[in-house]
Structure 1
Amino acid sequence: MFWLGFGLLLIALSLYLLYVYERQTRIDRLTHNWPAPPALPFIGHLHILAKLVGPHPLRRATEMITNHLKDHRGKLWMGTKLYLLDCNPKDIQALCSAQQLLQKTNDYRVFENWLCEGLFTSGFEKWSHRRKIVMPAFNYTMIKQFVAVFEKQSRILLSNVQKFAESGEEIDFLQLISCFTLDTICETALGVSVGSQSNAKSDYLDAVKSILVIIDKRLKNIFYRNAFIFKHTSHYKREQELIKTLHGFTEGIIQKRMDEMNEDAENRNYQSNDAELDGVKRTHCFLDTLLMSTGPDGKPLSVKDIREEVDTIIFGGFDLTATTLNFFMYNMTLHPEHQQRCREEVWSVCGKDKSEPITMEQVRQLEFLEACIKETLRMYPSGPLTARKATANCTVNDFFIPKGSDVIISPIYMGRCKDFFPDPMVFKPDRWASGAEPKIEATTFVPFMTGARSCMGQRYAMVMLKVVLAHLLRNFLFEPLGERQVKLKLNFVITLHTVEPYLCRAKHLD
């Protein structure tokens, strides 16, 4: 009986391996024009990907891509899973717009314990419905209203930087700026002030940093991706503790706003969606829009529905923008001549009177500052990689993409590719000047992605970045700790960071 069972198991295993081999062979035939290094049966390219483990993973990944990609396309088998890398500008628009490629990959499920099924992680149908709901909360009219909040929070940030300038202490710029971006996104998108900049310690910020490390471990460990295995690790227990803090924070914001809206309604101050205030039609903020919206079934969104979108917008609105601000200031201390040129532009456009607010019209005129932000995003995009799952067979420019495969686009690869940007490792803001040659094609610069699932807050982010940076540069000179800024090593922990924190000093300008 034992031998019969063993024999049947062996036959079943053999049939499965034969099926896998034939499936891989068939897909390899269909994707024959995708360049790839030699693959081994069943394990694919795992022996090559194993080289990414250890120090300098970004450098190793760059070398691997350079060696094996052709015309900025390539394919990799991770065991029986096919990944297609496509950074060819001719394909980008089609890749980001194709109906079959609007689904996020299964890798994003590692975020679901925290972000549940918000815009960042949700499937196509749910994402499509939710995006229609929240898009108006980030239109141009709303952004104009947000400038007053950007101004207010920038002033608080200036007072905090002033303390470092007076004491001469070094500044952990990411820590400082993260409190600013958290307060800003909460007050603009959620209509609630959380006062992170006024507190010496933020449990929420600490929880975000810790949970991103755990998520990073899950992404990089093939065993931790399995929910059953992960639930039996110490990381899962720690993640649950952090989620309690994170969800408690956002649920508190939601409840506070609901109480305010109920109080307004009781006092008859609350206006309907079509009401006008002082002759101007009121536009609701992100959270208000969610609180008044319904799902596909016509019922109001549940607290969980609202919380998952609030969690998503807070994460995207504070962490990603804080990372960009951090790398911007790093570039400014690395290239003091560009810092001074930005400052002179701010003086010219906004004046030297530090008490004067910075207006939307002035923001539009800060062209060199915007060029420096774009150059920062080119070299240091907050999200170095994005991935989509093919929900059906499709073809992009004669390259077949089979159903079930994952398509990866890398903004950091494209931004640092010499075929798209001459001298890619040189910080050259003038490449963004009007009339500069060679002309930069839109499909080679995709830090916010493009197409249907592009970042809906990119215009919001650019205005906020320019306002706060104009204030910082008008008030302070930022200097490296030593005579020159040390070049920092990069680290990819979900978003792009530096291995060591970026530290600098600020000197008050008279």
Structure 2
Amino acid sequence: MTMTTSAPQAPIVTASPLFGSMGDLLNDPLGAYLRARRDHGDVVRFRAGPPGLRSDIYAVFSAEGAQQVLATRAADFRKDNVFYEELRQSVGNGLLTSQDEAYLRQRRLVQPLFTRRRVNGYASQVAGEAAALAAVWREAPGGSVELVGEMHRFALRVVGRILFGTDVEKAFEVIERTLPPLQEYSLKRGFSPLKAPRTWPTPANRRAGRLQAELYGLCDGIIESRRGRQDGDDLVTLLVHAENAEDGSLDADELREQVLIFLLAGHETTATALAFALHLLARHPEEQRRVRDEVDRVLGGPGGRVPTAADMEALPCLTRVLKEAMRLYPSAPVIGRRSVADAEIEGVRIPAGADVLVSPWVTQRHPDYWPDPERFDPSRFTPEAEAGRPRYAWFPFGGGPRACIGRHLSMLESVLGLAVLLREFEFEDAEAGEVPLGAGITLMAKGPARARIAPRG
């Protein structure tokens, strides 16, 4: 809908007279977004920065508004905002950050690697890594594991097997040490009204440059190790040889950027879903029993057969648990865009040139779509319940033409990985309260999610 002069402006979120909402958005963004919707409605304005240097950030919290931004009017809301520019300079111009012809060309070259048939062929790697993790857990000291760290390591090992056809234990150490500070650096620069050019040798710039160089070196080494192979079915080997008449092939920089994006995004999304699905099941033993009974019927109980992609359809209870975990703990709590045309969303003006965000974190807790939204309730995802909600009431993988290309791979890895672990162990919550959370580019646990595990059989 084109903006009309009669449409009101978005309400401004109450904040500090000196720095506006900058402190809230940096220190407690998840709480700030929830309070803004509760107090001001589905379209609001945050003003960040000191007087004279403030910038407006529009936040859209309704499912219908999210659909306009991501899908129906996607051409008018682009990845041109300051946060994507900072991320682009930190991790390159891969599928997550590229636009226009560069994005379309990359997508055409990469899409054949993510067909459902090809992704289903990776089920054995997923099951193998889950079985290896179960063997390690059986020796866990004190029968206790920290789910967030364990699931990050598991997801990265699966990505390593699928992407690179090799062990990535070294990559795990590099990523865990470099990625969080690079995210924080990019986010702070995105919010800052005044920032030194990255070429200036400030301590922050020099540290970020060293971290980036280490990540780039990791990816270059992986690519080089696969370049001489012709017969591998890992994604890097396939990317190295990806080519078509229209688009040619990926050059060295493009290869590195795609590998880095797949390495980062490919494990973050899945690790968050796995960790919090197990955390929630550990806190809800009746739901855990229901899911385990289903897994036992399908896979045969402890030590049963190896799951395959065909088993996913036979595990609807487990899939509902996973979707509910992704509702409550979306790995991308906020998705940013910039408007390039005047718009009207939910009857509110959004001018051309405005920074705009939509938030799975808020929309997936919106009481208009989710009664008692903080309650864990997998029955929200029965086919009948899903049919009764707006399409974008749940969008942990984004949506529209820029929806996550790895969605099916993430679901395959999550469902089959959980099935193996739940078949082999019982989980009991070992923490007294909620897991403290923060948000950078992705959702981050700021404390442990520890569970006691007891081997079955």
TM-score (norm 1): 0.80
Per the TM alignment, residue 509 of structure 1 is displaced from its structure 2 partner at its CA by: 0.9
Tell me the residue number matched to 1:146: 122
**2:81 match:** 105
Give deviations 1:398-417, integer Å, cap 9, x for gaps.
65543211221110101111
Match of 1:507 among 444, 447, 454: 454
1:247 aligns with one of 216, 229, 233: 216
Letter in 2 for 1:101: F
Q: Is the 8 A contact 2:219 2:259 kept in 1?
A: yes
Q: Secondary structure at the match of 2:333?
A: coil
The residue number in structure 2 matching 1:449 is 398
The whole-number CA distance in structure 1 between the counterparts of 2:395 and 2:300 is 33
**1:321 matched to which residue of 2?**
270
CA distance in 2, matches of 1:396, 1:57: 22
How does 1:374-389 map onto structure 2 within 5 Å? 374-389=323-338
Q: Distance in 1 between matches of 2:367 and 2:426?
A: 32
CA distance in 2, matches of 1:491, 1:470: 28
| Structure 1 CA distance for aligned equivalents of residues 205 and 342 of structure 2 | 36
Structure 1 pair 436–405 and aligned structure 2 pair: CA distance change class (3 A): closer
Q: How many residues are paired up? A: 450
Code of the aligned partner of 1:112 = R
1:346–1:470 Cα contact (<8 Å) kept = yes
Q: 2:435 aligns with which of 483, 488, 491?
A: 488
Q: Secondary structure at the match of 1:477?
A: strand
Sort the Cα spacing of 1:170 and 1:231 in 2 relative to 1 into closer, same or farther, 3 A.
Answer: farther
Amino acid at match of 1:73: V
Contact 2:425–2:453 (Cα < 8 Å) also in 1: yes
Give the Å deviation of 1:295: 9.3
What letter corresponds to residue 292 of structure 2 in structure 1? R
Give the aligned partner of residue 37 of structure 1: 12
Q: Which amino acid aligns with 1:180?
A: F
Which structure would you say has the larger RCO, counting Cα contacts within 8 Å and 6 or more residues apart? 2
Give the residue type in structure 2 aligned to 1:499: K
1:193 aligns with 2:193: no
Aligned-partner SS, 1:110: helix
Matched residue, 1:497? 444
Give 5+ residue unaligned stretches, structure 2: none
Cα offsets for 1:76-95 (capped at 9, x unmatched):
44455443222222333332
Distance 1:38 1:439, change over 3 A: closer
- Percent identity at matched positions? 23
Amino acid at match of 2:21: L
- Assess if the C-alpha contact under 8 Å between 1:292 and 1:300 holds in 2: yes
Q: Per-residue CA shift, 1:332-376, capped at 9, x if unaligned? A: 222222222211111122211524101222221111111111111
Distance in 2 between residues matched to 1:301 and 1:142, nearest whole Å = 20
1:256 and 2:256 are equivalent in the alignment: no
Show the counterpart of 2:301: 352
Question: Which structure 1 segments of 5+ residues have no match?
Answer: 1-27, 265-269, 271-283
Within 5 Å, give how 1:233-312 maps onto structure 2: 233-261=202-230, 286-293=235-242, 300-312=249-261
Q: For residue 37 of structure 2, what is the aligned residue in structure 1?
A: 65
Cα deviation code 1:204-259 (max 9, x no counterpart): 33222343343344345444xx3527844322222222222211211111111112
Residues 411, 298 of structure 1: alpha-carbon distance in 2 compared, 3 angstrom cutoff: closer
Q: Secondary structure at the match of 2:123?
A: helix
> Within the alignment, does 1:214 sit opposite 2:188 as a pair?
no
Which deviations, in whole Å up to 9, do the C-alpha atoms of 1:274-300 show, x marking residues without a partner?
xxxxxxxxxx65434432345999554
**SS at 1:424's partner residue?**
coil
Q: Which moved more, 1:55-64 or 1:495-504?
A: 55-64
Runs (4+) of structure 1 moved beyond 6 Å? Answer: none
